[in-house]
Amino acid sequence: MADHTSPTRGSTTVGSAAPEIDVDLFSEDVLADPYPVYARIRELGPVVRLARHDVLAVGRYAEARTVLMDHTRFVSGRGVGFNDEFNSVRKSSVIASDPPRHDVLRGVLQGRLGPRSLRSAEEVITARAGELVDEMLDRGTFDAMTDLAQVFPVEVVGELIGLPVEGRSELLRWANGAFDAFGPPGERTSAGLRDIAEQFSYIRTVATRERLAPGSMGAAVYEAADAGIIPEEYCLHLLSAYLTAGMDTTVNALGAMVWLLGTHPEQYQELRTMPQQAPAVVNEVLRIEAPAQLFSRVAAEDVTVSGVPIAEGQRVAVVYASANRDERQYPDPDRFDIHRNPAGHLAFGTGLHACAGQALAKLELRAVLEAMLAKVGTVTTGEPVRKINNVLRGLRSVPTTFTPAPAATAAAGGPARGRRADA
């Protein structure tokens, strides 16, 4: 692989003790395999200047956590992306706001995404995961991205939001674009901004309040506006938050999970003997292949992190995916290990802006994993095709083969593989 770190390794800039790295973090080859660059950033220091982007970066676990936990000095209200246009489009969103507005917006989402609210959805999610795994077993060979990972969260989250069926097929394209739009100025970012405009138009014309299912998470957003809890114009941004954050992230996590299990067959076999380990393995998947690789904050005042001064107004990239592979935090961090329980990983961020949908995402991932462990004897994956996105790490395609679990075959008396009795 090309040396993305030359030639300014270890140099410093005026007014900053941060060592500098000359690398385009959003170039196609780095996005295809960012981990060697992250390792260089961690090696260089606790805070590193990304010269090409004029931002600082925290790539180590301790400093990433420090920045995320300090939401008064590292604010989100000046945007969490890497270009001004996006940061101004998104300025009414929950992710790019500070208290008190953040807490009001978050309160509307939190009410519907907390573990208690999800308890009623759990049964449906578990049943659908089982059906989907059965469908994949029926096919035998399928694409884990297009046939499974891209199907499940769109169905689950689409139903929870109460979306009409019309237009759902475009949701992932817009969500993927919305994550591209976080990037630095450039063609990929501009295309993403156009996708956000299309997503907004879908919300205004198709997923309107009249067409959102009564009692749904989407309807609750408008009820909050009716009750005077939020101004009406924030509804668009809250629905967009569900449509963007709630789908493509989980899609990529699901794809990574199948791919990691397919490429670690001995660990898959071991895991089948200890299915109670499933929640920990979900964490390990998220740790090693963080679907959202990085966002940013802006220093609201002069501040020092691990001895490095950061000036007021400076943008700081928080690289969750690098923190999750910090050797200071996780021994042998590049190794996928089902015995590790990395509950403190930063794939969902932490602190005030920690992912509002993490209970739902974990529920979806666990449901699919448990269904696999119960029904699928072997998982084989072929050569994946990687997706290039400014923020998301994921795959476009993973050829996959499931064979039925022997016990399930026997229990079902043959090829029915333990599926529901009417299948």
What does the per-residue mask of binding to ligand HEM show for 253-282, with x meaning CB under 6 A?
Answer: x-----------------------------
Confirm if 132 and 245 have CB atoms less than 8 A apart: no
Residue 28 Cβ, how far from ligand HEM at the closest point, in Å? 22
What is the Cα–Cα distance from 302 to 309, expressed in whole angstroms?
Answer: 7
Residue among 81, 378, 75, 392 at smallest CA distance from 254: 392
Residue 391 identity? V
**Residue 395 lies near ligand HEM (rule: CB under 6 A):** no
| Cβ atoms of 111 and 229 closer than 8 Å | no
> CA 231 to CA 92: how far, in whole Å?
11
State yes or no: residue 94 binds ligand HEM (CB under 6 A). Answer: yes
- 347 touches ligand HEM by CB under 6 A: yes
360 in contact with ligand HEM (CB under 6 A): yes
Please tell me whether residue 157 binds ligand HEM under the rule CB under 6 A: yes
Q: How far is the CB of 2 from ligand HEM (least distance, A)?
A: 28
129 scored as a contact of ligand HEM (CB under 6 A): no
E-state strands within 308-364: 308-310, 315-318
Binding residue for ligand HEM (CB under 6 A) from 218, 349, 394, 418?
349
C-alpha 242/C-alpha 207 separation (Å) is 12
* Residue 365 Cβ vs ligand HEM, minimum distance, rounded to whole Å: 7
> Residue 360: which of 348, 372, 374 has the closest Cα?
348
Nearer to ligand HEM, 108 or 373 (CB): 108
Nearer to ligand HEM, 292 or 310 (CB): 292
Residue 158 within binding range of ligand HEM, rule CB under 6 A: no
Residue selected from 46, 59, 81, 246 as contacting ligand HEM according to rule CB under 6 A: 246
Q: Which amino acid is at 383?
A: E
Q: Closest Cα partner for 152 from 284, 249, 285, 254?
A: 254
Strands 315-318 and 55-58: parallel
Among 355, 369, 371, 405, binds ligand HEM (CB under 6 A): 355
Residue closer to ligand HEM, measured from CB, 94 or 219: 94
Nearer to ligand HEM, 137 or 258 (CB): 258
Counting contacts by CB under 6 A, is residue 356 touching ligand HEM? yes
For position 125 contacting ligand HEM by CB under 6 A, the verdict is no
CB closer to ligand HEM out of 49 and 393: 393
Does residue 80 touch ligand HEM according to CB under 6 A? yes
Quick check: 26 binds ligand HEM (CB under 6 A)?
Answer: no
Q: Is 163 in the site for ligand HEM (CB under 6 A)?
A: no
Choose among 333, 346, 284, 388: nearest CA to 33.
388
Q: Supply 130's token pair.
A: 């089982």
Regarding 108 and contact with ligand HEM (CB under 6 A), the answer is: no
Instruction: Write phi, then psi, for 248 (nearest 5 degrees).
Output: -65, -25
- Of the candidate spans 49-57, 238-246, 258-266, 376-384, the one that interacts with ligand HEM by CB under 6 A turns out to be 238-246
Which of 16, 12, 10, 13 has the alpha carbon at shortest distance from 310?
16
CA distance 121 to 360: 9
- Rounded to 5 degrees, φ, ψ at 295 are -135, -170
Backbone dihedral angles phi then psi of residue 346, each to the nearest 5 degrees:
-105, 20
Q: Which residues bind ligand HEM (CB under 6 A)?
A: 76, 80, 94-95, 106, 109, 113, 157, 241-242, 245-246, 249-250, 253, 291-292, 295, 320, 347-349, 353, 355-357, 360-361
